Structures are given as C-alpha cells and as structure tokens.
A and B are shown apart, each in its own frame.
Chain A
C-alpha cells in the first residue's frame, strides 16, 4: 500500500506566488495610503503657510493717508502698493484718550493710487482723532 506523501499537500508554486503577491500588494497599498494621507495634509499645511505669509506681506504693504474733511466725512488716499478695504474706524476723544470703535456696515474699498470718501456713521467732532481700520488689521490715523 502506497502511503500518500506530505509533499503532495503543499500549495503549488503558482498558488504560493499568488498568496505572496496578495500580501505584498496589501502591504504596499497600506503604505501608499499612509504616505498619501500625510502628503495631502502636508500640502494643506503648506497652503496655510503660504496664505499666512501672503497676508502678513500684504498687510505690510498697506498705507493710507487719512484726512478728516468734516465731522461726518473722512477722505482716505491709498499710498501703498496694494488695494485696501476699510472696515471701520476709531475715534478718540482727546480729553481722555478713550477710543470708540465704529464698524462700517458697508466696507469701503480703496483701489491703488486713488482716494475714497467715507461717510462716518456717527458725527465726530473735528478735534477728535480719527483712525481707519483695514481688513488686514492695520490702523491709519489722521495726521
């Protein structure tokens, strides 16, 4: 009687290759997915850094000349190298130096090398100091 040999029960060489390939592909896909996620997040971080640097650089390029024409009108001239958006203004009572911030309901854009007149929502005595606030957080005071 012939005894069945154990070698006949082994996987064929093709099946072994297939199983090995599947394991390698799975490991490869896991590694690829991990790298992809990290690269994607890294790109988002780089975009944020770029945005922040651009905002800081643009902020440094803002420059406005502010003149109070009357107690309800301020004239601003863009002397910088970037367009400016005025979102509100400070008015400071010289008696106590306490400021009062008044936001503009409609922000005013001041293009390059041009002037804009801003109507103040609240009458401001002409001896009060007026400063306009831009959308990048700069304040320019009247001289």
Chain B
C-alpha cells in the first residue's frame, strides 16, 4: 500500500512538470504569435500609407487648356503625364475669397478629341472636363481632387 502511494506521488510530479512545461511553451508561443499578429497589422498599415503616398506621387496632371464657351460651361483639358491613373472626384471653382465647403461643381469628362465618356484619366491621356455652369467671374482658382488622394490647383484667367 505504501509503495503504491509513492508511485502515485511520482506520477503526479511527472504529470505536473509536463503540464507546467506545456503551459509555459503554449504561453511563449501565444506571446510570440500575438506579437507577430500585432507587428503584421502595424506593418500592413504602414505599407498601406506608403503605397497611398506613392500613388499620390505618381499622379501628375497638367491643365493644358481652359475656356468658357458661349453657353456658360467651363471646359478644362487635363493631361495625365504621370504613371498612375487619376480619378477626379471633386471640382471646386474658388473665387478669391473662398468659403470652405462652397464652390463645388459637377462635371462630365470625355476623352479629348472624341465624345467618348471616361471615368478616369489614364496615364498619357488627355481628357476634356466640362463643368456646368461656369462661374461668372473671369478669374478664379480651379481645385481638382482625385479619388487617389491627389489635389491639383490651377488659376483660370478668362
């Protein structure tokens, strides 16, 4: 009876030690994996930010020609000489005293020289952007923002 008791005690010590070892290893693995997951999410956030900034850098828009027609529409010929496609999303025509939130215009866009509507300005592409109606002034700022985060400002002098 006494030998059996001793054996049981020895087995429980082994099981206890193995359990402690397993718990320790599991906690270490969990700690490393949690750290890896945190590091991965932080790195991916940084990569997203860097890539967004890179896309902004690769957008290069040039206003080649602008005029107001007899119907009161403003026509802008915009050329993309960058390597990234630009998607214009907001157009502001700002007078010298600009009020935030005002001056946003709707516009249509088509490939220059044709009547083909285009949703974006591809690389090395010239588009004609028509804003309706044009401001009555002959001097104002044209502010164009793109979905890719680009902001372009030109001066119009009619």
Contacts and interface: CB of A to CB of B under 8 A. Distances in A.
B6 A103 contact: no
Contacts of A138: 62, 64
B153 interface: no
The interface size bin for chain A is: 35 or more
Query: B14, B57, B70, B80 — which one has the most chain A CB atoms within 10 A of its CB?
Result: B57
Contacts of B36: 30
B10 A4 contact: yes
A113 interface: no
A109 B62 CA distance: 20
B156 interface: no
Contacts, number: 112
A42 B60 CA distance: 20
A137 interface: yes
Interface of A: 1, 3-4, 6, 9-11, 19, 23, 26-27, 30-31, 34, 37-38, 41-42, 44-45, 48-49, 51-52, 55-56, 59, 87-88, 90, 96-103, 131, 133, 135-139
16 contacts: A1-B6, A3-B6, A3-B10, A4-B10, A6-B13, A19-B25, A45-B50, A51-B83, A52-B58, A55-B81, A55-B82, A88-B112, A101-B128, A103-B112, A103-B113, A131-B65
